């Protein structure tokens, strides 16, 4: 499973809305609160409500009308399609959208449920394939996979041209195409665009949990990346419904901002290079100040250093984006110091190696789909990000561009998002944006120390707030984004999976942190086959004078497709 759940790297535009009918939800509730709620502020609990104030009476919750049938779209398990209000807080508004929910039954008799919330925003349940990974982890839990409103096989927020018409490779294509897309979005949805918010999606989650509930069975929720933002909003509205919540790679209120997204990448890249300076082999190449060496390289490039490589397209801006893409993968980030070293040295062998590297990134043009999942909604990604996750409203594109030029790595997402923001039909953040949930539900929070998308420095905000006796935060040294995948151990099971499994077995117990002692160390070397693929030679750092020829091109290493896709998504 390689569910990267990348935040805000979706910089192109997305696909069309399917309007096929589904079973209706007949009686929406009257107590919901969200964008466009009553002007007197009387709907729903205030942001600082305690658990006893927030949960609406059970009698006011409607029948969700879940009707299960075998999935017909290639997915295993049973699927249900349900109509829900576009605005839960407007019971008289007859506009409806569809949600698609998938269920994969437990291997034996189920003792409970596990609900999986994907990242993005705009991600879909497809990011959790193969779902058998979770069934093996908790074979006695039914697994539920919900496509967020606006994405996947739920009612989709997108442009009529379709996803591949614009293609991936965000900034340049986006800046050409977004006016046409925005015109279509306004014409199709108008003020209904405000319905595709995290708050409305949190109501969706609660209502579907109601519909699938089995008396006496616990309900666990796992969210990753934006899925943690979604899960937290759910806890603001329904602090006592779930039996346990897991936040993996945490996007907290007050810390997770699109405008500062690239700051996280730069922060983690510097930490990685500092670790390089503490590693004997890496320091032998880049010295005791690897960060300073990288900063010097960018100054030299501005003065015309290594023109042969720059002429091929690996200029400072492209280099920043290439290194940012590598940083998203636990294994392939080992090549970052080697790229800096080779570019700085710029010998003939280094020029050849960097040309191979650039060719691998570009190889054949953009990937076939804009994100790892073809059903990812790039429009929803931008819509939620610019509406309720922007951050500092004073930052504009020009200021961010000047700031970006000083970074060691950058996806370019902060700048291109700032360019889009003035013309995007954003919705006003509701009362829950920027506020914290108050809940005593058992929680496992985990974050990698080298996670560029949701850095540890912002994830700790959640640890500081959720400090109840059954709420624990685990820092996973060296892990990248998505601890259930990117915290490899010597024994083979990712540390995040071990932590998750222990929590699902007993959410009241302290985290079983035994896997932390089994973590693989941060590495600055690679297998010869990986180096051969990246640089055309079997060593990340050096070019042998003589080397055996290959009869066939080396196979891409694990994670390369995700790295290459991240590069294209961030390339202006």
Confidence of residue 218 (pLDDT cuts 50, 70, 90): very high
Q: For position 28, what pLDDT does the model report?
A: 31
In a domain, 317, yes or no: yes
DSSP symbol at 228 = H
Mean pLDDT of the chain: 84
Calpha distance 191→336 (Å, rounded)? 45
Q: Within its chain, how far is the Cα of 413 from the centroid?
A: 13
* 430 in any annotated domain: no
Query: Whole-angstrom Cα distance, residue 65 to residue 288?
Result: 63
**How much is the average pLDDT of 61-71?**
72
**265 in any annotated domain:** yes
pLDDT value at position 207?
Answer: 96
pLDDT tens string 330-368: 999 999 999 999 999 999 999 999 999 999 998 866 665
Whether residue 1 is predicted with pLDDT greater than 90 in this model: the reply is no
pTM, entire model: 0.88
pLDDT confidence tier of residue 498, bands split at 50, 70 and 90: very high
Let me know if residue 398 belongs to a domain. no
Cα–Cα dist 215/238, whole Å:
18
pLDDT digits (tens, 9 = 90+) for 405-414: 899 999 988 8
Residue 439 forms part of a structural domain: no
**383-397 per-position pLDDT tens digit:** 999 999 998 777 788
Is 53 a residue whose pLDDT tops 50?
no
Instruction: Provide the residue range defining the domain that includes 550.
Output: 261-367+523-570
105 phi/psi in degrees, rounded to 5: -70, 155
DSSP assignments along 424-491, one per residue: S------TTTT------S-EEEEEETT-SSS-HHHHHHHHHH--STTEEEEEETT--S-TTTS--BTT
Q: Does residue 72 belong to any structural domain of this protein?
A: no
Q: What is the pLDDT of residues 304-320, one digit of tens each?
A: 999 999 889 999 999 99
- For the stretch 2-47, pLDDT in tens is 444 444 333 222 222 233 333 333 223 323 333 333 222 223 333 3
Residue 303 belongs to a domain: yes
Contact criterion met (CB below 8 Å) for 258 and 384: no
- Greatest CA separation found in the chain? 77
Name the domain count of the chain.
1
Of 243, 242, 250, nearest to 466 by C-alpha is 250
> Reduced to 3 states, what is the DSSP secondary structure of residue 112?
strand
Q: Domain for residue 279, yes or no?
A: yes
Q: Please, how many CA atoms are within 13 Å of residue 3, restricted to the half-sphere of its CB?
A: 28
- State the Cα–Cα distance between residues 342 and 335, nearest whole angstrom: 10
């Amino acid at each position: 499973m390689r569910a990267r759940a990348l935040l805000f790297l979706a910089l192109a535009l997305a696909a069309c809305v399917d309007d096929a009918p589904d079973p209706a939800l007949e009686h929406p509730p009257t107590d919901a609160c969200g964008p466009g709620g009553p002007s007197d502020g009387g709907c729903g609990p205030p942001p600082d409500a305690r658990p006893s104030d927030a949960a609406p009476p059970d009698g006011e919750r409607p029948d969700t009308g879940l009707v299960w049938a075998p999935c017909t779209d290639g997915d295993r398990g049973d699927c249900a399609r349900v109509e829900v209000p576009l605005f839960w807080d407007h019971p008289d508004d007859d506009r409806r959208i569809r949600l698609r929910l998938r269920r994969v039954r437990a291997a034996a008799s189920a003792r409970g449920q596990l609900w999986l919330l994907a990242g993005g925003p705009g991600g879909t349940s497809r990011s959790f394939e193969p779902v058998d990974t979770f069934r093996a982890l908790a074979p006695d839990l039914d697994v539920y996979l919900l496509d967020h409103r606006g994405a996947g096989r739920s009612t989709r927020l997108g442009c009529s041209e379709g996803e591949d018409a614009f293609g991936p490779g965000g900034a340049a294509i986006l800046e050409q195409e977004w006016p046409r897309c925005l015109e279509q979005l306004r014409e199709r949805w108008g003020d209904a665009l405000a319905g595709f918010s995290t708050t409305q999606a949190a109501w969706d989650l609660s209502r579907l949990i109601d519909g699938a509930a089995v008396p006496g069975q616990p309900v666990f929720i796992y969210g990753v990346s934006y899925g943690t933002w979604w899960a937290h909003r759910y806890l603001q509205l329904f602090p006592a419904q779930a039996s346990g919540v897991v936040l993996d790679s945490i996007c907290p209120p007050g810390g997770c901002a699109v405008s500062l997204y690239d700051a996280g990448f730069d922060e983690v890249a510097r930490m990685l290079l500092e670790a390089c300076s503490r590693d004997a082999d890496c320091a032998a190449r880049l010295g005791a100040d690897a960060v300073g060496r990288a900063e010097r390289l960018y100054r030299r490039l501005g003065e015309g250093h290594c023109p042969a490589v720059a002429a091929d397209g690996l200029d400072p801006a492209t280099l920043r984006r290439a290194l940012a893409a590598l940083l998203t993968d636990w294994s392939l980030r080992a090549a970052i110091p080697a790229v800096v070293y080779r570019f700085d040295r710029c010998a003939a062998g280094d020029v050849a190696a960097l040309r191979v590297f650039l060719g691998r990134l570009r190889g054949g043009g953009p990937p076939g789909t804009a994100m790892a999942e073809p059903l990812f909604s790039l429009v929803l990604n931008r819509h939620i990000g610019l509406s309720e996750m922007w951050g500092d409203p004073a930052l504009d594109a020009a200021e961010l561009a000047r700031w970006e030029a000083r970074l060691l790595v950058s996806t370019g997402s902060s700048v291109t998002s700032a360019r889009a923001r003035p013309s995007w039909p954003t919705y006003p953040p509701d009362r829950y944006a920027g506020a914290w949930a108050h809940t005593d539900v058992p929680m496992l929070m985990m974050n990698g120390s080298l996670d560029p998308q949701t850095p540890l420095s912002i994830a700790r905000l959640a640890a500081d707030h959720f400090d109840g006796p059954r709420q624990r935060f685990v820092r996973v040294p060296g892990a990248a984004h998505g601890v259930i995948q990117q915290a490899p151990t010597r024994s083979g099971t990712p540390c995040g999976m071990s932590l998750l499994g222990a929590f699902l077995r007993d959410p009241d117990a302290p985290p079983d942190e035994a896997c932390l002692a089994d973590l693989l160390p941060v590495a600055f070397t690679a297998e010869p086959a990986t180096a051969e693929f990246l640089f055309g030679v079997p060593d990340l750092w050096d070019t042998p004078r003589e080397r055996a020829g290959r009869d066939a091109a080396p196979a891409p290493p694990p994670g390369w497709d995700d790295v290459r896709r991240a590069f294209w998504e961030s390339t202006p």
